[in-house]
Structure 1
């Protein structure tokens, strides 16, 4: 007669009270980074925005709460003028290097002889620091001994030297040209990378159908690189919207404030006018506009990723 084997007792369940959940463990791992982010970015940002509600002079101790007076000072004053001049600089310093960079990218993409050497040569302005570029072009635009005036006078285009950086009608153009020279290589490289992803079979098929070079560009090339071009344009627009060094070195916002942008206005108000409250208020308004541009950039990249 067989006897049933005795039933073994099941081991007691493990205690999990002392273990962290996956979410808590992830939070613990990211806590040092979050603390560093809050210390160097989040807290200074909130502190600066809070300062915009106070009247504060850098030369005097203490500050006085004035509410929205600092923001009203700009909105009722020079805000629209500064915005207009910032947009003029931003649009000009974005479209001009884009056109130049795209033209060079198209030329280099055709397999031009010595294209490797030319590509490296065109990158030269990009690797030079912005302040150095600004001083270089300040010398070129100089009214007394500038190279530009010397060449134009010798060619008979102008009769006398022109103060390019001292005239309201030419100062902004000079700043845009300087920024164009410094930024077109980056746009050229990005657009060239986009052009090299276009399948050659599409161009060959369009050629067999009798399409010329202009028609092939709009029917084949542009649709393929439109996504890259839109991201390049928007990124350059955002960077130029907050650009500082070229404008400050060449003109300092002058003459008569005709090249003043948000970046130079905030600097001049804070460190030349010593009014940190109004400078912070203008910086807060400037930041809101930048957030709109960043939101547009994220929207475009999301659409490109969905495709």
Structure 2
């Protein structure tokens, strides 16, 4: 017996749930392929060719660009990149942790201080670089003026012009710009630690250091690992602060992967070798990202 008034859709025109899901995803996937996948594959393919920005055409050279990159400055650049990345990650992490602990202790005016500490983070990176370029200036820089008045130096030091101080100056600049967000993230983690545990540890006679090791750090370890690794990834590919302050100099003392790829492509006009160097850099970065994702999964579990 058929039911009148109930129309059944034709089977041929019905879309399955899976097909409907793919239909919804299709515009996003197409945009992702056009904006990310195609440019990435096209750029990586350039590494197998000899191609210049100033000469038309290109010729296939296979792995020659990769061999030249590995036999050239790759390892010194890797060392300088790791030096900058570690310095610009460890210093702001320690500073951010110290300030987060201070703000979490309930000191007076912590809300105002939290807002003031965020100020360096909201300033654009190029503006921060120009500000610290003025501070480090050999002739009229504030740093040299303060050190001279204190009697620590007799004459101005060219902090950005010396191979033994340039990297330190760049790391200090990046530390000043990035410690606020690490402080905020660590402070958020500290505020999840139950105060009852601290009070119980204090009653048992535990001092501040032991309470940090036994109570605070176990709760903070997950978020601290994620914050540290995320900042490490950002610094491993950082460009603007280094380029504005030193341009990779003096004598290549601050030339990291980001600066080296830029110089090879847009100053040396060698797209093939720049792409090969960038591909090797990307492989290293993917390894770091894999470590970050693993730490994030552990922190979430």
Please indicate the TM-score interval, normalised by the length of the shorter structure.
Answer: over 0.9
Say if 2:48 and 2:63, in contact at 8 Å, map to a contact too: yes
Between the aligned partners of 1:172 and 1:79, the Cα distance in structure 2 is 18
**How far 1:13 moved relative to its partner?**
7.9
Matched, 1:38 2:43: no
Residues 1:86 and 2:74 aligned together:
no
Aligned to 2:287: 292
Alignment of 1:150-229 (within 5 A): 150-229=145-224
Q: Write the distance in 1 (CA, Å) between the matches of 2:204 and 2:183.
A: 30
Q: Which residue number corresponds to residue 4 of structure 1?
A: none
Give the Cα separation in 1 of the matches to 2:222 and 2:8: 56
Aligned to 2:297: 302
5+ residue gaps, structure 2: none
TM-score of the superposition, structure 1-length normalised?
0.95
Aligned length in residues? 299
Which of 242, 248, 269 pairs up with 1:253? 248
- Using the alignment, how far apart are the partners of 1:152 and 1:14 within structure 2? 83
Task: State the Cα distance separating 1:10 from its structure 2 match.
Answer: 8.5
Say which SS state the counterpart of residue 84 (structure 1) adopts. helix
C-alpha spacing 1:31/1:151, structure 2 compared with 1 (3 Å): same
1: CA distance, partners of 2:154 / 2:3? 103
Runs of 5+ unmatched residues, structure 1: 1-7
Task: Report the RMSD for the aligned CA atoms in angstroms.
Answer: 1.3
Task: Describe the superposition over 1:137-195 as per-residue Cα deviations: whole angstroms up to 9, x where unpaired.
Answer: 00000111111011101110011111100111000000000000000000000000000
Question: How far is the alpha carbon of 1:14 from its aligned partner?
Answer: 6.0
Q: Deviations over 1:116-141 (max 9, x none)?
A: 11111100000000000000000000
Q: Deviations over 1:179-217 (max 9, x none)?
A: 000000000000000000000000011001100001000
8 Å CA contact 2:223–2:299 kept in 1: the answer is: no
d(CA) in 2 for partners of 1:9, 1:250:
81
**Take 1:9 and 1:128, find their aligned partners in 2: how far apart are those partners?**
72
Q: Distance in 1 between matches of 2:268 and 2:11?
A: 62
- Deviation, 1:9, is 6.0
State whether residues 139 and 156 of structure 2, in contact with CA within 8 Å, keep that contact through their aligned partners in structure 1.
yes
TM-score using structure 2 length: 0.97
Correspondence for 1:98: 93
Q: Over alpha carbons, which structure has the higher Rg?
A: 1
Matched, 1:21 2:16: yes
Once the two structures are superposed, the pairs formed by residues 255-270 of structure 1 within 5 Å of their partners are 255-270=250-265
Distance 1:9 1:109 in 2: 72
Matched with 2:118 is 123
C-alpha distance in structure 1 between counterparts of 2:229 and 2:298, whole Å:
14
On the 8 A contact 2:201/2:211 being kept in 1, the answer is yes
Please, which of 140, 143, 146 is the counterpart of residue 138 of structure 2?
Answer: 143
Per the TM alignment, residue 17 of structure 1 is displaced from its structure 2 partner at its CA by 2.1
Cα contact 2:125–2:241 (8 A) shared by 1 = yes
